[in-house]
Structure 1
Amino acid sequence: MDELSASERIINELAQGVRGIDDGVAWFAGLSESERDAVLREVVLCISQAHPTAEEARASVARSGLKPTANPAVMIQRAPLMERVGRIAGLPADEHVNAFRLLVALFSIADTRRRETECRGQCGHFWHNLS
């Protein structure tokens, strides 16, 4: 199937720099709590497919713009990585925007590496060509 849901498209556009993070955060913040929960789960699925490294997790804190002491920023730096990513997505509603910023940053870093090393423009992932 060559279609993305609206939220999957936005997540991938954010990861590829097609859409700015401030626009993405404004969209995300305007969602209901249950919709934000669903989007965070979608970002986690995207991250799991990009296979992030611990180094990319550390780099995502800086890219996200979060203070290193923010809950999601502290959590992402502890192993095992994918377990922490899932816990970040499950943070309370008052942490959703910070979690979104961090998880999108992580996906962007890991997926960029994946596109540049594994895919190199030759993959069949239609979502890698959103521009």
Structure 2
Amino acid sequence: MTGFGDGGGAGLRRETGRVVNEVAQELRTLDDGAAWFSGLPADEHVKAFRVLLSVFAVADTRRRETYCKGACGHAWHNLPAAAEGL
């Protein structure tokens, strides 16, 4: 694993983004991606999770604008607004 010792975290964010994209493109297995994530220092889990959410947000937006445009029946695209305090 690389990118842990750069101090500012930019190297880790690039590494995290690369690993997430490799898994998404099936260049790396999900098990390999999970093993990489598990090897992160505990204080880096939140940062890695944010990268995962960012990648998901882009993919979900793209899907909504293409495949689901106009007549989406996916339950996860029709969630009610978040309740206060969650």
Provide the TM-score with structure 1 as the length reference: 0.39
- Structure with greater contact order relative to length (CA < 8 Å, sep ≥ 6): 1
Runs (4+) of structure 1 exceeding 4 A deviation are none
Q: 1:92 to 1:106 in 2, by over 3 A?
A: same
Q: Which runs of 5+ in 1 are unaligned?
A: 1-65
Query: Alignment RMSD, CA only?
Result: 3.0
Deviation at 1:80, TM superposition (A): 6.4
Q: Which runs of 5+ in 2 are unaligned?
A: 1-7, 82-86
Is the radius of gyration larger for structure 1 or structure 2? 2
Deviation at 1:72, TM superposition (A): 3.8
Partner of 2:55: 106
C-alpha separation in 1, matches of 2:50 and 2:57: 11
Q: 1:95 to 1:67 in 2, by over 3 A?
A: closer
Deviation at 1:76, TM superposition (A): 2.2
Q: Indicate the percent of aligned positions where both proteins have the same amino acid.
A: 46
Provide the TM-score with structure 2 as the length reference: 0.56
